[in-house]
Amino acid sequence: MKALLSKAPGGPDTLELSELPDPTPAKGQLLVAVKACSINYPDVLIIEDKYQFKPERPFAPGSEISGVVEAVGEGVTDWKAGDRMLATVGHGGLAEKVVLDANRAYRLPEGRSFAEGSALLLTYATTIHALLDRGHLKEGDTLLVLGAAGGVGLAAVELGKAFGARVVAAVSSEEKAQAAREAGADDTVIYDRAPFDKGQSKALAGKFKDALGPNGADVIYDPVGGDYTEPALRSIGWEGRYLVVGFPAGIPRLPLNLTLLKSCDVCGVFWGAFAARDPKANAAHVDRLFRLWEQGKIAPRVTDTFAFEDGGKAIAKMAARGAIGKLVVEVGG
């Protein structure tokens, strides 16, 4: 089989399309022919050895796949060859075939494309965990979403609306603002590209406050970090919850006096660890996501697809923060 491999730390240009032996499913596993693999920001980090997990090389990036079951391992009774599925795999998705534990796979609903299926789990499961378990979002709350046109950002806009919140989407361009509006955002804030000096940071905080209203944000969803974090935190409401999701703009340093003045919480969101520690709670969230998907309240937005051999270009576009919605690599025919 072919796989797009990272053989040494580096950027997307270092990935090599190589031949590997076909894997074989062990007990309790599925062998899957990968049809589509969506790209997420951890794919940018993992090939540079900047992610919290560092797989042994060579490895293929790609943590979110959809495909068709080719074979099942011993003891697997609820899957068979030909079944359509989707899953998160940590890494290895940019390969023609993968093996994974059967209990990590979900059925791809009829009528849904492989591209859609590969774009659902990581962004929406991260976000539903963030909003409900960490942010305690409830109907009538005001939710500020940074980076609101990216994969997790649009998921936060959609889920925020599905849960009855007023959603303010913060983005870097009018094109991205329009994408957030189409996903249901009630208001938008367009910010400049960082870095910010003290005056620019204060001005951005003012923009956030104007859009949010006098009570500020009950919940702030931040998958961006960097210089955007402090202005957003300054706009939080009394006893608000600030959700730390990711850092493509850099790891911020917060003035902790702000948390005292607002009596607010700063909450880390690590969906992968949550799913491993509490699989039943995660499964309940995923079931709810499938219902929301069926009801049309959420819908993965795939805005660009790439050929298998161009998977590095998809990762490069993600690294440049040029993506709206989800980028998908079409691995198999």
CA 70 to chain centre: 27
Q: Which residues pair with residue 226 across a beta bridge?
A: none
Q: Is domain 2-120+301-330 in CATH 3.90.180.10, yes or no?
A: yes
Please check whether residue 191 is in contact with residue 211, taking contact to mean a CB–CB distance below 8 angstroms: no
Length of the chain counted residue by residue: 333
Q: How far apart are CA 158 and CA 161, in angstroms?
A: 5
pLDDT at 28: 97
pLDDT at 32: 98
| Helix/strand/coil for 216 | coil
Q: How far apart are CA 127 and CA 135, in angstroms?
A: 10
Q: Tell me the pLDDT tens digit for each residue of 177-217.
A: 999 999 999 999 999 989 999 999 999 999 999 999 999 99
Please check whether residue 69 is in contact with residue 305, taking contact to mean a CB–CB distance below 8 angstroms: no
Name 228's Cβ contacts closer than 8 Å, sequence gap at least 6.
Answer: 146, 170, 191, 194, 204, 222, 249, 252
Please check whether residue 177 is in contact with residue 190, taking contact to mean a CB–CB distance below 8 angstroms: yes
pLDDT at 51: 87
The domain locations on the chain are 2-120+301-330, 122-272
Q: Tell me the pLDDT tens digit for each residue of 129-151.
A: 999 999 999 999 999 999 999 99
What fold does the segment set 122-272 form as a domain? Quinone Oxidoreductase; Chain A, domain 1 (3.90.180)
Q: How far apart are CA 68 and CA 64, in angstroms?
A: 14
Residue 209, class by beta-carbon neighbours within 10 Å (0-12 exposed, 13-18 middle, 19+ buried)? middle
* Residue ranges in the chain modelled with pLDDT below 50: none
pLDDT at 266: 97
Domain 2-120+301-330 matches domain 122-272 at the CATH topology level: yes
Residue 50, class by beta-carbon neighbours within 10 Å (0-12 exposed, 13-18 middle, 19+ buried)? exposed
Alpha helices (H) along the chain:
41-46, 114-118, 121-128, 151-162, 174-182, 198-212, 229-233, 257-262, 271-277, 279-294, 311-319
pLDDT at 52: 83
